[in-house]
Amino acid sequence: ICGIGYWAGRKKKEQSEDYFLAGRTLPWYVVGSSFIASNISTEHFIGMIGAAFVYGICVAMSEWGNVISFSFLIWLFIPFLLSARVFTTPEFMEKRFNAAIRQFFAIVTIISNIVAFLAAVLYGGGLAIHKLFGWNLWISIVIIGVLAGSWTVYGGLRSVAWMDLFTVVIMIAGGSLVTILGLYMLSGDSHSLVEGFRIMLDRNQAQSGVWKEVVAQNARHIVQMDEYHRLSVVQPLTHEVSPWLSLVTSFLSVSLWYNVINQFMIQRVLGAKNAWHARMGIVLAGYMKVILPFIVVVPGLILFAAYPEVMRLPWQEMRMEADKGYVHMLQTLLPIGLRGLFLAALFGAIQSTVNAVLNSTSTVFTLDIYHRLLKKNASEKHLVLVGRVSTILILFISIFLAGFINRLGGSLFVYIQSLYAFFAPPFAAIFLLGILFKRINAIGATAAVFLGFLFGIAVKVYIQVDPTHPQWLAPYANQSFLNWAICAFTCVVVSLLTRPPSPCQVTDQLTINWKKLNIFDDLGRRWYHSVILWWGIFALLIIALVIVFW
């Protein structure tokens, strides 16, 4: 991986476009692999496996549910983002709305990247090292942070993206083998993969024995009811992490922000050679989302089938113990030698996400804050230097914050997802409305964003101080959609009551011109290059999986 990072980043990076967007030269297979590798992190190998142990198959919807946002990205957003020729999504916000929205979005992006992404991922990696080797947690976090972040400083997006191509292969191969060995472990003397899968499903139905007892013990915490179904993706409205409402609305409130306007994800798309490479990259990422639950959800179901007694622990302690499940599987299932391969898979996931978030965060800081507010006449070479220095500073701030996450208690998955649900809705609302409707203006967008954050804080305070609050309001996914709806309503009403935006803010590069819709350009010249064909198969696979686990 280090060799690939050096080779890809060896070219001089004196131009900011080369350093921050890889010179817009990334092919589709690098775009897709880097998109997924940036997404897969300890949130998955540590947090999601732990969440699947506690909640069941429903957490797979955080992967399969991306079919909606990926489809909108392929068919609507990629053409407009590429035609606008922007470096950052805050820059797009300024062109469509105003400078105030751009700066606020840039600041929130930096804060969310550090708190919700970097610190959480570094904590998960440090936790893995701590449990595997017995090292001090702080030392483990520092080691992970320094090793993972160094290549971003050296090579920018070009190094990061090409390293991700190799890393994602290791992650999928290593993660799949852990799942297979776990199923063999469940099968006992029969040594049958099919039998292991049957036992896993049977025990996760929790119809008898200790499995039924621990489900009943924790049902009140999870769904505010006396029981819950671990093998269904459709859960009650009061489910802590996956209420049924979120099956569709999570696209509007969180997925749109995460996959489309989140800088560290969309930066791979902006670095693509052209629209076809960008679209096919997202299609490839979609197929990886189909198989990811086999790697990061099924192991949690295997752990529940094998160690249900862990769920007898007190609620907060049990969720923290569940986050150690993947490392436990590495220690108990794998012989020394193979164990190193899976550690490489885990730390590859950490490195790719840390690299991605560091690179995008330094991009936003350098171009949207430093260059814009502090030194407008800075040279290209100076901007690259500032990008590297800011990367180092952001890294050490994240390392410092990561050491305190364990004091919060609870699940790493819930910690990360709840932060997404807080940061995402206001910007997701104004971005979608701004793209679709030319009448939306900067005043409406500004009012919606600030009201959205105030509302999000108010709801969390209300839930903490009033024990009689409606039970459906407690899940962060429901809070997120309610916040999105209020922001969307505010944005529309205020925009209609104030003056229309200027013509330069509603050009065809910034809003959809339904008469000149160019979604069918750059779809591939031959059938086996067809974006429509491969996207359609991906979408049908997701629909089939959701029906099976309905």
350 pLDDT more than 80: no
Would you place residue 510 in the very low, low, confident or very high pLDDT band (cuts 50, 70, 90)? confident
Cβ neighbours, 10 Å, residue 335: 7
**Which sign, positive or negative, has the C-alpha torsion 389, 395, 397, 400?**
negative
Give the range with max mean pLDDT: 21-35, 180-194, 512-526. Answer: 180-194
The whole-number pLDDT of residue 500 equals 93
pLDDT tens per residue across span 120-162: 888 888 888 888 778 888 888 888 888 777 655 555 556 666 7
What is the Cα–Cα distance from 315 to 320, expressed in whole angstroms?
9
**pLDDT attached to residue 17:** 46
Q: Is the pLDDT of residue 497 over 90?
A: yes
pLDDT of residue 507 exceeding 80: yes
pLDDT tier for residue 489 given thresholds of 50, 70 and 90: very high
9, two tokens: 């980043």
Name the phi and psi angles at 318, rounded to 5: -65, -40
Q: Could you give the CA distance from residue 396 to residue 149 in angstroms, rounded to a whole number?
A: 10
CB-based burial, 297-321: b 16+ in 10 Å, e otherwise: bbbbbbbbbbebebbebebeebbbb
What's the CA gap between 31 and 37, in Å, rounded?
Answer: 10
Instruction: Report pLDDT digits (tens) over 383-428.
Output: 878 877 888 888 888 888 888 887 776 678 888 889 899 999 999 9
203 secondary structure, DSSP code: H
- pLDDT at 107 exceeding the cut of 50: yes
Cβ neighbours around 87 below 10 Å, total = 21
Query: What percent of the chain has a predicted confidence (pLDDT) above 90?
Result: 30
Structure-model confidence comparison of residues 116 and 345, the more confident one: 116
Neighbours of 322 (CB within 10 A): 29
Report the pLDDT averaged over residues 514-525. 71
520 vs 411, more confident: 411
Whether the Cβ atoms of residue 508 and residue 501 lie closer than 8 Å to each other? no
**pLDDT value at 201 more than 90:** yes
Burial status of residue 280 (CB atoms within 10 A of its CB: 0-12, 13-18, 19 or more): buried
pLDDT tens digits along 366-382: 877 888 778 878 787 78
- 355, 496, 539 from 147: Cα distances, Å: 10, 51, 37
Amino acid at 114: I
Q: Percent of the chain beyond pLDDT 70?
A: 90
Residue 42 has pLDDT above 80, yes or no: no
Residue-level pLDDT at 289: 92
Higher per-residue pLDDT: 86 or 313: 313
Average model confidence (pLDDT) for the chain? 84
